[in-house]
Each structure stands twice: as structure tokens, then as C-alpha cells.
Amino acid sequence: MVKRGSQRPSKFYEEQLEYWEEKLKNHFKENIQKFDADKEFDILVQMEENGMKVDWDNYHKRIEENNGIIFPMTIQQAFQVWSYLTPNWEGMGGTYLGRFMQGVQELMNLLEIEEQKIVLQFVQKIDGYYAKTVNDKADKERKAAERKSSVRK
């Protein structure tokens, strides 16, 4: 781990970040439906915050069975922060432009996130991978619709 006040993270720590960044990239490549698990995570967090009992072991077991991976808490926190941010869509073309980042630090303070710098880096990576995945899917659908309409003419 990084010692408080040190200038640079250790090589081991950098390798961990690279490893999880690659896992995150694959998360988006494999299946966009995995966001359902992240939505479920947000719901469970809200339930717990409202005093309801949450079976986290069952949740993690299902995630591991379905995805084969459980992200570390820092990345889970990044997904949580990302999910609270407002999406920005281009109106005419339906292109996803990313999340509005206003108030992200206040949000992280409210959620009592300690590693804010790293969480923010992963929020930006999540948003970038999500934008690429959603926009690529929309482009494929647009091109398929264009081909279909050109065949009818």
C-alpha cells in the first residue's frame, strides 16, 4: 500500500491498479448487462442505509458465479459514485457524452470515501468504457437499420 504523504505509489500498487483497470475494461467488453449487478449493488446499499438487513454474502456469491470476479471496494465505490452522477446524452443523435462530474467531490465526502483520487480515476475509466460500449452498440444498431432500410428500397 501507499504510505501517507509519499510522492509516488509503489510499483506493486501501480501493478494492482493496472490489473484492476484491465479487469474493468473486460467487464465492459464482455457484457453490458453486468450493469444490472451494479444497479442491484446500489439498491442493496440504499436498503442497508435505511436500516434493512442485507445478505452481502449471497450477493457476492451470485456476482462471483455470474461474472467470475468481485471488484475491490475502491472500484465498487467508483461504480457507486458513477451511478449517482447525471448522464449526458446528445439530443439529436442519441450519443452518450459521459456523466456530469459536478459535485463529485461532495458526493465522495458524503459517502465517506477515503481514497478519493483513485476512486475518481476509476469513475472516469468506468465512464469512458461505458461510453464506448453504449456508443458502439448504438452505431451497430444504426448501421443495421440503415442496411435494412436500403434493402427495402
Q: What is the pLDDT of residues 99-151, one digit of tens each?
A: 999 999 999 999 999 999 999 999 999 999 889 888 888 888 888 888 888 77
Q: Considering the domain boundaries, does residue 4 fall inside one?
A: no
**Average pLDDT of the residues in 89-100:** 86
Q: Among residues 127, 146, 126, which one has the least CA distance to residue 138?
A: 146
Q: What is the Cα–Cα distance from 61 to 55, expressed in whole angstroms?
A: 10
- How many domains does one find in the chain? 1
Burial class (CB in 10 A: 0-12, 13-18, 19+), 45: middle
Tell me how far apart the alpha carbons of residues 65 and 70 are, in angstroms, rounded to a whole number.
10
Residue 105 lies in a domain: yes
Which residues span the domain enclosing 105? 11-152
- Assigned domain for 102 exists: yes
- More confident of the two residues 59 and 135: 135
Provide, rounded to the nearest whole percent, the portion of the chain with pLDDT above 90.
24
Mean pLDDT of the 5-16 span: 62
Q: How confident is the model at residue 49 (pLDDT cuts 50, 70, 90)?
A: confident
The answer to whether residue 81 sits within a structural domain is yes
